[in-house]
Amino acid sequence: MMTDTMDLDSAEKFRQLEQELVAHAPEAIIFDCDGTLTHSMPHHYQTWRDILEPLGVVFERERFHALAGVPSDKIIALLSKEQGIELNFPTLVEAKEARFIQLLHLVEPIVPVVQLARDFHEKMPLAVASGGFRDIVLKQLDHLKITELFETIVAAEDTEKHKPEPDVFLEAARRLSVAPEKCCVLEDSDLGIQAAERAKMSWVDVRPYYPTDS
């Protein structure tokens, strides 16, 4: 069932996304958050630039997207090591998250994906499994008023290893009491898709279902 608020482009993409998902015949669906449910990646990138550029740290857009799914503290540690710039990891993580929260009101849903979650809510178990920190993930879901659609939310704090390792998806499957091979992951990043494959889960790349003007 589609909402009345979807435009023709979103409605068509929703139908295509639903068809692709159903073809996998999952018993549970696991959603990434940033870039999958929420159109937040441009705002995350702006936040990184606001925080890192004054420190002389280079973080190009292509690299940012390549590291999608990696927690903020690990990104900072990686950039610090690569560029030989000493950084205060906890302070920068806190500043980055605080700055993103200031932009939270700008975050919009990725409509076909959110509609899919609404349609499958109560039809089968749904989870969110994200490389983001729990507070940021929950604030986004609350902002879009979709938190209640998901039985469980796995965030960066819940596993020691992160994408492309499968741990976040395996933890979500465990909490849902569904075998990994019966789960389908919706993702927007190459690292996330690698993680789904390592978890032996089917997957759908949501990037073809982004709004045409994205």
What pLDDT does 6 receive?
79
H runs (alpha helix) in the chain: 8-23, 41-52, 61-66, 72-83, 89-102, 111-120, 134-143, 167-176, 190-198
What pLDDT does 7 receive?
87
pLDDT tens profile 31-84:
999 999 999 999 999 999 999 999 999 999 999 999 988 888 999 999 999 999
In degrees rounded to 5, what are phi and psi of residue 68?
A: -60, 130
H runs (alpha helix) in 24-110: 41-52, 61-66, 72-83, 89-102
Report the distance separating Cα 185 and Cα 195, nearest Å: 10
Q: Is the pLDDT of residue 4 over 50?
A: no
Average pLDDT, integer, range 14-37: 97
What pLDDT does 212 receive?
72
Report the distance separating Cα 122 and Cα 197, nearest Å: 26
- Choose the weakest-confidence range: 14-18, 69-73, 203-207: 69-73
Q: Tell me if the pTM is above 0.85.
A: yes
Domain boundaries, the chain: 8-40+107-207, 41-104
Q: Please name the fold of domain 41-104.
A: DNA polymerase; domain 1 (1.10.150)
* Architecture of the 8-40+107-207 domain: 3-Layer(aba) Sandwich (3.40)
pLDDT tens profile 114-159:
999 999 999 999 999 999 999 999 999 999 999 999 999 999 999 9
What pLDDT does 94 receive?
93
Q: Is the pLDDT of residue 171 over 50?
A: yes
Instruction: Specify whether 32 is catalytic.
Output: yes
Distance of CA 164 to the CA centre of its chain: 13
**Distance set, CA 136 to CA 10, 25, 140, 142, 175 (Å):** 26, 31, 6, 10, 21
Q: E strand or H helix at 132, and its extent? A: none
Q: Of 4, 7, 32, 73, which is the active-site residue?
A: 32
What pLDDT does 211 receive?
77
The closest alpha carbon to 214, from 112, 120, 68, 70, belongs to 112
Over the chain, what is the mean pLDDT?
94
Q: Is the pLDDT of residue 2 over 90?
A: no
